[in-house]
Amino acid sequence: MSLDEVYQEVILDHYKSPRCQGVLINPDRKVDLHNPLCGDQISLTVKFAGETIAEIAFAGHGCSISQATASIMADLIRGKSKSEASRLSKLFRAMIKSEQSGEDLQDLGDALALEGVKRHSARIKCALLAWDCIDRALSGDSAVGSMRDEVP
């Protein structure tokens, strides 16, 4: 089995059996974003315990990339500090933009399976939607809106 096939299985696993799916009651932050180009939607709810992401959940619909990424991202950052979650978001973006590769990306865990998305420019926004949600939640923004129009 090739590495691409393994990565495809990871993405399909998170898409078919998402982690952290649902909606938290009385969250500290709620961010709803959609990609008007393809219709992907993510609603992210987060509860903090001081500087730690105590609970996180997402709901939404869209392509396998957007939904699997939300599952992977939420599973990865649950229990992490706000600063660590922000670092992981920056690392994921660097990977998608081909600015970082190799051993530096090991902290991304299952999110490494999405590295191939960078070869498909139309899918990059799909992979970034959930990360845009957590970035807004970490910045204190509870928002409803569309993704930024610029290409990451």
Cα 122 off chain centre by = 16
CATH architecture of 3-146: Alpha-Beta Complex (3.90)
Q: How high is the pLDDT of residue 150?
A: 35
**Nearest of 72, 59, 78 to residue 117 by alpha carbon:** 72
- DSSP E strands: which ranges in 21-147? 29-34, 41-49, 52-61, 144-146
Q: Where are the domains of the chain?
A: 3-146
Sheet holding 41-49, edge to edge: 52-61, 41-49, 29-34, 144-146
pLDDT at 109: 93
CA atoms of 134 and 80, how far apart (whole Å):
12
The structure's pTM equals: 0.88
Q: If you count them, how many residues does the chain have?
A: 152
pLDDT less than 50: residues of the chain = 146, 148-152
